[in-house]
Amino acid sequence: MRRAISKEKDKVIDIIVNAIEVNPKIQFLLGENNFPKKVRALAQFIYAISERRKAIYLSDDGNGLLIFMHSSAWRKNWRDFWDHCLMIVSAFEWSRLIQILKMEKELENHRPKDIEYLYVWVLGTKIEHQGGNQARELRDALFLKSTEMKLPIYAETAFDQNFIVYQRFGFESYHSQYFPEIPLTIRFLKKVIEPTSL
């Protein structure tokens, strides 16, 4: 695993699009109108936030992507808020804005408040490389980082396929939040790496 460099921006954004466009939560946030354009705008937002935190990693062959950061880096600054406003204008389905804000507040309530941890935001590969070794390579590097820093790993997903992948990686679900008006279930996961597990 290696940190992505600036000239790989377009590749990274393409992989983010691949990873998020099938996610039911993202589909709800963006709505059906102009979905391809809006999902790319959201991917560009994710890239901007993550790049500022040096949180974007690629598999050695450049076809797998992992975005993760220390929980303290997840806190928003003024630049993040500005990007967030631009993203809402260019991507979110405005008619669902109140629902979206309520959902995000509910999700925030189930993330740990009193501990430090590593937070996984995006895990994905280029479409033509799905099923390859990239996810395992990124997983092993993340687990090593978790061991070195002595921090647990937290993630969440609304995509059933990703939930299965996380379970295969040894994550356990500690909460499921169902939003009946959407309808949508988001699962919260964690993984505590023991030194002997690698």
Q: Which carries the bigger pLDDT value, residue 52 or residue 195?
A: 52
Q: Which amino acid is at 65?
A: L
The rounded distance, in Å, linking the Cα atoms of 162 and 115 is 25
Examine the pLDDT at 57 and tell me if it is beyond 90. Answer: yes
138 and 66 Cβ atoms separated by less than 8 Å: yes
Q: Which carries the bigger pLDDT value, residue 69 or residue 98?
A: 69
Examine the pLDDT at 195 and tell me if it is beyond 80. Answer: no
Coil, helix or strand at residue 10: helix
**Residue range 35-52: mean pLDDT, rounded:** 93
Q: What is the pLDDT of residues 93-149, one digit of tens each?
A: 888 888 888 888 888 899 999 999 999 999 988 777 576 688 889 999 999 999 999
Q: Report residue 66's pLDDT band, with 50, 70 and 90 as the boundaries.
A: very high
Which pLDDT belongs to residue 194? 75
Which pLDDT belongs to residue 84? 79
The rounded distance, in Å, linking the Cα atoms of 25 and 76 is 21
**Residue range 40-53: mean pLDDT, rounded:** 93
- The mean pLDDT value of the chain amounts to 89
Which pLDDT belongs to residue 160? 87
Closest-CA residue to 197 (of 158, 161, 147):
147
Closest-CA residue to 68 (of 144, 11, 107, 121):
121
Examine the pLDDT at 196 and tell me if it is beyond 60. Answer: no
Lowest mean pLDDT among 11-25, 37-51, 81-95, 176-190: 81-95
**Residue range 32-60: mean pLDDT, rounded:** 93
Which pLDDT belongs to residue 198? 47
Task: Sketch out the chain's domains with CATH numbers.
Answer: 2-197 (3.40.630.30)
